[in-house]
Amino acid sequence: MKKTTLGNKNYFAPNPVVLVGVNIQGKPNYLNVTYTGIANRTPAMIFIALNKLHYSTSGVREDKAFSINIPSAEMLTETDYCGCVSGKDVDKANLFHTFYGLARNIPMIEECPLNIECEVVQELDLEGSNVLFIGKVLESYTEEKYLADGLPDIKKINPILFSINDTNYYSIGNNIGKAWDFGKNCARIDNRKRSVVSVP
């Protein structure tokens, strides 16, 4: 084995790319966020880790609410732009059509294929650069054209991925297997050292 060390930096990739929506002083603002993921299965919860200095952070703290908007790769320019400029300086709401769902204080982006409305149930100061918010999912929104068999289809959504290692954006690739179904091959993996079933 020839492992080389990289130090205590974040080389965790790929990362999802979402636009976090929040009202600040009554106006919608959208921030490009890649420090995000699922936090809980039941009830459904999502976490975001925001830089303490970001304009949006004060808004999430105040409203105890935010939205997750999943942009498609066709929206890459606007998505990147939302990570380039601050809502302090620029009115980013003008880039999109905003809509509201169950809550009147959680702005969402109509153009994004998938929107998730969240209520903050936990805020955690990590004593570093970021503050972590955990949001309970109130409701999710999509359009019929993004569904397959009643579920949001990842290829139709065409989301953006991020590699924090080299700060490049990527598209989603091919379907390479069904989870747990694939696991039926498990029976073919026995407990010999490094016995491997080759992936077709």
Residue ranges in 118-177 that form contacts with a second copy under rule CB under 8 A: 121-122, 124, 126, 128-130, 132, 134, 136-144, 147-149, 151-154, 157, 159-177
Q: Which is nearer to a second copy, 105 or 132 (CB)?
A: 132
- In the complex with a second copy, the residue whose CB is nearer, 63 or 153, is 153
C-alpha 89/C-alpha 85 separation (Å) is 7
Question: What minimum distance in Å lies between the beta carbon of 95 and a second copy?
Answer: 7
Instruction: Name residue 139's amino acid.
Output: E
Question: Is residue 104 a contact residue for a second copy (CB under 8 A)?
Answer: no
How many chain residues bind a second copy (CB under 8 A)?
Answer: 119
Nearer Cβ to a second copy (26/173): 173
- Check binding of 53 to a second copy (CB under 8 A): no
Q: Tell me how far, at minimum, the Cβ of 144 lies from a second copy, in Å.
A: 6
Question: Who's near 140: CB < 8 A, 6+ residues apart?
Answer: 114, 115, 116, 117
Interface pick for a second copy out of 27, 81, 103, 105 (rule CB under 8 A)? 81
Strands 98-100 and 151-152: unpaired
Of 62 and 97, CB closest to a second copy:
97
Bridge partners (DSSP) of residue 46 are 38, 135
CA distance to 36, 70, 98, 162, 195, per residue, from 23 (Å): 19, 18, 11, 26, 54
What stretch of H or E contains 31? strand 27-33
What is the per-residue binding string for a second copy in 55-74, x denoting contact by CB under 8 A? Answer: -------------x-x--xx
Query: Is the separation of the CB atoms in 160 and 171 below 8 Å?
Result: yes
